[in-house]
Amino acid sequence: MKETVIEKIVSERTGESYYKVDHSSGLCLLLMPMEGYVQTYALFSTKYGSINRTFKTSGDKDFCTVPDGIAHYLEHKLFENEDCAAFELYAKTGASANAYTGFERTSYLFSCSENYLESLKILTDLVQTPYFTQENVDKERGIIAQEIRMSNDVPRRRVFFNLLKALYHEHPINTDIAGTEESIAEITPELLYKCYNAFYDLHNMVLAIAGNLDVDEVIKHCDENLKPSKDVKVETKFPEEPDTVVTERVEENFSVGVPMFNIGFKCKALPPEELFRKEMVADIMLNLLAGKSSELYRRITDKQLMQVELGREVFSGNGYFSLVLTGESEDPDAVLAEVWDCIDIAKDKGFDEHTFELNKKADYGGTIQLLGYAETCAEEMTLAYYANKTCFDLEDMLASITLDDVNNAVKELFARDKCCISVLR
């Protein structure tokens, strides 16, 4: 068994620090003690989400493809072991617990103000102790089917997934995280164990804890409670995605008072090492294009197309990169026309340097502020780890962004033939 290695990571800009521990079990621990904090927040994550449906391990000859929604299904089932549900155990320690599945990551978490080691034992036990039977898998199917039906009735979710289906031909990002009622009907205990054994290998996971904690206590806990695992070297595969969009427009009648829209711009997917910085550049660029200080905001409010600024998101990950603008308007097409006018102006003239500096400073201040909360510290450490960065690297990246980066991005990332609008009327 390998030795545990502890590394202290320090920010040269702020002096803040945290510990990266390569534990002998194969798990990476990210620990940020925060002096004076009462709360402890723990986040146990695996690099496994809804898009990872085609995979193999070092012990497999060929790739296999599993039903949509299985990562989310697995998350539900891990909260129930042979004796009781994990929530009952957390209730005894006073911790607040939850879990969530995303497109690329599944995470289990708790926060507490006391008894953090007792809650940590519950967390490490539930993630390491799968219990799937035909009976309990069948029982969960109805619960998740109801969750899918409820999600389909949420307008903001509906308009967004309609957009993804219009932007992406083959990439599984175009499918709801929970899958469909048809796909979850194919899930069996055997498939759940197959996915668990591939992706819940400790080498594919990270445990981030921030707030009131003692580093030595946490390492001792892991020495006693983590089961050393062999690295199965899970490998995922995605279908080839065309550069084109599926359709330039998708519209659906829905129960909404005012038409709701998402405008998406499909961009070239980036390798992991380039992704974080490009996301930051694109985020600043969207703020300059559509924020409250922008020409676009003035136009859409003066013409009474909208009374608030457009929502903005850089939506990106493994094999996908898109920019999304969201809002509600009686005339979404008029909003889209104004968006393109302002994009063309920005491509021609570039953005104002003073406004750029203000936005960059605001983003930098927001990034520093995130490290003032235990919850966001754990989240930022985890995101950075899976990008092979430290959370302090993100500060340095943001500081290095220039006006030229942003002006080049507006020319690079917006193309009329890669644009789609999704509308709910």
> Is residue 241 in some structural domain?
no
> Is residue 243 in some structural domain?
no
> Is residue 157 in some structural domain?
yes
- On whether both 11 and 156 belong to a single domain, the answer is yes
- Active-site residues: which are they? 75
pLDDT of residue 414: 98
- On whether both 404 and 272 belong to a single domain, the answer is yes
> Is residue 300 in some structural domain?
yes
Residue 170, Cβ neighbours under 10 Å: how many?
Answer: 13
* Terminal-residue alpha carbon distance, the chain: 60
Please identify, among 212, 236, 260, the residue that sits at the C-terminal boundary of a domain: 236
Q: Are 70 and 118 in contact (CB under 8 A)?
A: no
pLDDT of residue 1: 64
- On whether both 193 and 342 belong to a single domain, the answer is no
Cα gap 206→215, rounded to integer Å = 15
- On whether both 232 and 346 belong to a single domain, the answer is no
Range of the domain at 351: 249-424
- On whether both 255 and 173 belong to a single domain, the answer is no
pLDDT profile of the chain (425 residues), mean per 10: 92 92 97 96 98 97 97 92 78 94 97 96 95 93 95 96 98 97 97 98 98 98 94 96 98 95 97 92 97 96 95 97 98 98 98 95 88 94 94 90 98 98 97
> Is residue 30 in some structural domain?
yes
DSSP 88-147: HHHHHHT-EEEEEE-SS-EEEEEEESS-HHHHHHHHHHHHH-----HHHHHHHHHHHHHH
- On whether both 217 and 277 belong to a single domain, the answer is no
pLDDT of residue 83: 62
- On whether both 281 and 214 belong to a single domain, the answer is no
Contacts of 35 (CB under 8 A, 6+ apart): none
Cα gap 295→299, rounded to integer Å = 6
Instruction: Look up the pTM and report it.
Output: 0.95
Which of left, alpha, beta for 36 (phi over 0: left; psi -120 to 50: alpha)?
left
Cα gap 34→43, rounded to integer Å = 16
Cα gap 40→207, rounded to integer Å = 13
Pick from 338, 422, 362: nearest CA to 162:
422
Please identify, among 178, 211, 236, the residue that sits at the C-terminal boundary of a domain: 236
> Is residue 244 in some structural domain?
no
How big is the chain by its Cα radius of gyration, in Å? Answer: 23
- On whether both 298 and 224 belong to a single domain, the answer is no
* C-alpha dist (Å) from residue 205 to 155, 188, 196, 394: 33, 24, 12, 21
User: How many domains is the chain built from?
Assistant: 2
CATH of the domain at 364: 3.30.830.10
Please identify, among 182, 203, 236, the residue that sits at the C-terminal boundary of a domain: 236
